[in-house]
Structure 1
Amino acid sequence: MFRKGFRWASNTLFLLFFFFVVGLVLHYKGRTKPLVAFWNDLRSLAIPNNRNANQPNPYKAPEPNVATDEQVATDAKKKPAKDEQSLLDKVGIGNRETDTETAPERTGSNQDFAKTKDFYLPAVGSNDQIVRRSRYALRYREQYEQADWVAYRLTSDEAESYLSRAGNQFKADPLVRTGSATTQDYVRSGYDRGHLAPAGDFNLSAQEKGDTFYMSNISPQEPNFNRGIWNDLEQKFRDWARRDGELFVITGPVLKPNLETIGRDNEIAVPQQYYKIALCLTDKKPRMIGFLMNNERSNELLKTFVVSVDEIEKLTGIDFFARLPDALERQLESRSIVTDWFSKFGN
C-alpha cells in the first residue's frame, strides 16, 4: 500500500515537472534569446529592486496587439556645418511657435551664437537620413534600425507641467524613407522599447507627447536599466530644466558593428551603452555635462557616470554642438565639472 502511494506521488510530481518544463518552453519559445530572457526573469525575482522596476513605467507604452499593431516609425534632424546656412531650413525643423523661432536673446558672450537657428544640433552629412518632429529631431541609422542621436530643447515650462501619456501607442513613422523597426520586432525580446527623447519631457501638447512614441525614437533597453537608472537621469534633467530655465539636450545609443540584434522583421542592434548630454546657457558661464551608461541595472549614483563630451564624441563619431564658437566648444566638451550641476541637487 505504501509503495503504491509512493509510486502515485512520484508519478504526480513527474507529471507536474513535465508540464512545468513544457510551459516554460512555450512561454520563451518566441523570444530572441530564450535562455537570456529566462535568466533575466529569474534575476528580477531573486534580486530586490529598490527602484520599483516591476511597477508600471509611465514612459513605456503598453505591449502591442501583434495582430493589428504593425507599425513603423523614425525621427531625425540635421545640424548645419559652422560656415553654412542651416541645412534644417530644408526640412523645416523649428520650435513650438514657428519654424523660425530662435533661442531667447541673452546678454554677454552667449548672445550671438545662441540666436543662430538650431545651433545646438550635431553636425550632419549630406547623405544622412534626417527625420523631424515639431519639438525634436534625430538622425536615423538604417543599418542599426534606430537613431544615433536625438536633440531637443527642454524648457522649465515643459519640466514643471504634467500631461498624461494615456492613450498613446507606439506607431509607424512614414517619414523614414528606408522603413524603420516595427513594434513586433520588440515583442517577447526581453527588452523594453526605451524612449530616447522621453515622453515626460513633452507636456504642453498631446501631439508633441504622442510624437515621442514613433519607433524611430525607440531603442532596445534592458528593463531594469530603462525603468531604473536611465529614468533617474531623465528626472534629473527635468530638475535642472526647472532650476535653470532651459537645457539643450542630446541623447542616444552608442552604435557600432557586431552588436547583438533582436527583431522579427528587422535586425535591431541592442546597444551596450547610452549617452545623454546637456548644455545650459542661462547662466553667465555656459555649462555642459555628459553621461555614459551601460545598458544594465545599476544602483550607482548618477555622478558616477559623468564623462567629458569629448569622450562621447570619440565613442560615437558624432560632432556635438558643432555650431558653438570653436574655443567655447573645446572648453565645454573637454571636461564635465560635476559641482557645476549637482551642487544644488545633491546626488
Structure 2
Amino acid sequence: MKRNCFFILGAALFIATASCNNPSKIEQSREALRQYAAKENKADTRQTKKLKDEPAKTQDISNESLASKVNNGIMLNRTAYTVCYNAKAMLPHWVAWTLTSDHVNGKYSRGGIKFQEDEDVPAPRATDADYRGSGYDRGHICPSGDNKWNEDAQRESFLLTNVCPQGHNLNAGDWNEMEQQCRRWAERYGKIYIVSGPILYKKKHKTIGRNKVVVPEAFFKVVLRLGDDPKAIGFIYKNEDGNRPKGDYVNSIDQVERITGIDFFPTLPDQLEQSIEATAEWGDWE
C-alpha cells in the first residue's frame, strides 16, 4: 500500500512540474497514472476476493468456537465434543462437534456402555436413576454413532451432560434419521460441523427424577459445511411424536439463533456468516 502511495504522489508532483513546461507530457503522465491505478485496483480486488474465499476453504474451527458461550454455562471439552452445560436445568445448553468421513465408521460400538453421571459438574446433577421409569429416553445430543472411531469418545458420549430427556418416538424416529443423515453428509463432504441441544421456551418446565432434570420442549441442530460451496442449515424438532420428511424441520441458522439466543459459528468472517445463516434450503444438501 505504501508503494502505491509513493507512486501516486510522485506522479502528481511530476504532472504539476510538467504543467509548467509541456502539455503533451501532462497528458502522457495522466494516462500512465490511470493505467497504473487500474492495474493496482484489479490486483487489490483479486487479493480481497482471495482473503474472502480462503477462510471458507481452509479454516478449521475448534468445537468450542462453534457457538457462543451461554451465561453461567460450564464449558466441558471432551475427546470428540464440547459441552456448554446448564447446571440449573441439568442439561447441556449446547453440544458441538466435528464429524468427518473418518469418524462415521469404527470398531468402538456402544455395546455394554452404561450412562454415567458426570462428576465434572457440581451436584445436584442428573443421574441414571432420574431417567429410570420416567417415560423418557436418555437422548444423546452428540450421538453414539458419531463416536465409533475412538474408545474414549464413545464412552464419553454416555455422560449425562451429553443427554436430555427425549420422547422415545422422536429419539428412535425422526431424530435418529437426522443423525444418520449427518453421517452421510460427513462422508459426502469430508467434514461437517454440528451444534445441537435442547430448547426451553416455557417459563415452567416439566421435570423428571429426584434431581428434577428439566424436560425440553424441543431440540435444535445446526450443521455447517465449508469448502468451495459453504452452506449451513438448521433444524428444530418438538419433543413429541412425529413422522415427517426431514425438510419439514428445516430452519435458517438465523431463525434458530432467534429461538435459542445462541450465536452459531461466530468465528467465521462476517460476510460469510451473514450469507450462510440468512437462508436454508433442504435442496442445497441433497
Show CA shifts across 1:88-147 (max 9, x none): xxxxxxxxxxxxxxxxxxx94325871465574211257431112121011111221100
1:258-277 → structure 2 map (5 Å cutoff): 258-264=204-210, 266-277=211-222
In 2, Cα distance between the equivalents of 1:119 and 1:331?
Answer: 22
Aligned match of 2:14 = none
Residue identity opposite 1:272 in structure 2: E
Which residue number corresponds to residue 198 of structure 2?
A: 253
Is 2:220 the counterpart of 1:280?
no
Cα distance in 2 for residues equivalent to 1:116 and 1:305: 26
Contact 1:310 1:334 in 2 (8 A): yes
Aligned to 1:312: 256
Match of 1:183 among 128, 131, 153: 128
CA 1:261–1:312 in structure 2 vs 1: closer, same or farther (change >3 Å)?
same
Residues of 1 paired with 2:245 and 2:170: CA distance? 13
1:228 Cα offset (Å): 0.6
Alignment of 1:116-127 (within 5 A): 117-118=62-63, 120-124=65-69, 127=72
Q: Does 1:296 align with 2:240?
A: yes
Give, as a single letter, the amino acid of the residue that structure 2 aligns with 1:165. R
2:155 to 210, 218, 221: 210
TM-score, with normalisation over the residues of structure 1? 0.64
Matches within 5 A, 1:38-49: none
The match for 2:108 is 163
Structure 2 partner of 1:132: 77
**Is the contact made by 1:186 and 1:192 (CA closer than 8 Å) also made in structure 2?**
yes
CA contact (8 A) 2:63 2:81 kept: no
Q: Contact (CA 8 Å) 1:119, 1:321: kept in 2 or not?
A: no
- Give the Cα separation in 2 of the matches to 1:128 and 1:145: 11
Aligned mate of 1:332, from 253, 257, 276: 276
In our comparison, the structure showing a higher alpha carbon Rg is 2
**Could you give the per-residue CA deviations for residues 230-257 of structure 1, whole angstroms, max 9, x where no partner exists?**
0001000001111110100000010233
The equivalent of 2:178 in structure 1 is 233
Which structure 1 residue ranges, 5 or more long, are not aligned?
1-106, 343-347
Q: Name the aligned partner's letter for residue 292 of structure 1.
A: I
The DSSP-based 3-state class of the residue aligned with 2:170 is helix
Match of 1:110 among 35, 39, 55: 55
Q: Distance in 2 between matches of 1:301 and 1:115?
A: 31
Q: Which amino acid aligns with 1:220?
A: P
Q: Percent identity?
A: 37
Q: Which amino acid is 1:261 matched to?
A: T
* 1:281 partner letter: L
How many angstroms apart in 1 are the aligned matches of 2:128 and 2:61?
37
- Cα deviation per residue 1:264-288 (whole Å; 9 max; x = unaligned)? 2x11111111111110013x12110
For 2:193, what is the secondary structure of its paired residue?
Answer: strand
CA shift in 2, pair 1:108/1:180, >3 Å: same
* Between 314-323 and 111-120, the greater mean CA deviation after superposition: 111-120
Question: How many Å separate the matches in 2 of 1:119 and 1:212?
Answer: 16
**Where does structure 2 lack aligned partners over 5 or more consecutive residues?**
1-51
Q: How many residues of Structure 1 are paired with residues of Structure 2 in the alignment?
A: 235
Distance 1:236 1:111, change over 3 A: closer
Task: Report the CA distance between 1:171 and its aligned residue.
Answer: 0.8
Q: After the TM superposition, which parts of structure 1 deviate over 6 Å for at least 4 consecutive aligned residues?
A: none
